A = this chain, B = another copy of it.
């Protein structure tokens, strides 16, 4: 448990592609946004490879997916969506990417970062591993005065993220009850039409099913009531 009484009200979600937040943690995001937290999305790529239609150029697809992501974000109550423009499918956890993310952390000063669990066994998508690892390594770097010191300009200082929540994890130890917003979560996901199609009720049901199962897991682990629908995370609380 953190010792601070400061409210942890700024949240940054770092994903590899548009729709990663909606597939991974949108229920929790909606709930937190409703509770007054300020949410920023950072997407490393604009998902420019995610189509089976060769007639759709990467930039055209990226345009569609940025629009879809902005629509989903608005639906959810996200304040800002930042696209870094890296090429989809080719992400690597380089010092360069880490520096970019570190700079964003120092400027936006999120108390909480949500990202993909890069340690998940058989996380087959190379972008998902790279994005999660780079985000966590950037959190580490952001705290130090002399890592990427050229970023500490004016009132920009080292920034200590207080909590990290990893989604798509095999080691959840924190659960959020999203019963209140399961349908809003699904609606947000449905904004990504290029990826999920129109009126994808089958996907909606799959999300409900999975959230129900996670809810069970939460009730069992936490020995609490409620949690009809839940999302699970591996959580880190930093000193």
Interface residues of A (CB under 8 A from B): 45-46, 48-55, 57-60, 62-63, 66, 85-90, 92, 94-96, 99, 103, 119, 121-122, 124-126, 136-137, 140-141, 144-154, 156, 158, 171, 234, 236
Contact = CB atoms under 8 A, between A and B. Distances in A.
A89 B126 contact: no
A152 B59 contact: yes
A92 B90 contact: no
Contacts of A46: 150, 153
B154 A63 contact: yes
B87 A148 contact: yes
A51 B90 CA distance: 24
Contacts of A154: 63
Contacts of A54: 57, 145
Given A54-B145, A57-B54, A119-B122, A96 B94 contact: yes
Nearest to A45: B150
Contacts of A136: 124
30 contacts: A48-B146, A49-B144, A49-B145, A53-B145, A54-B145, A55-B55, A57-B145, A57-B146, A58-B146, A58-B150, A58-B152, A59-B150, A59-B151, A59-B156, A60-B152, A60-B153, A62-B153, A63-B153, A85-B103, A86-B150, A87-B99, A87-B150, A89-B141, A90-B95, A90-B147, A92-B95, A94-B96, A121-B171, A122-B234, A124-B140
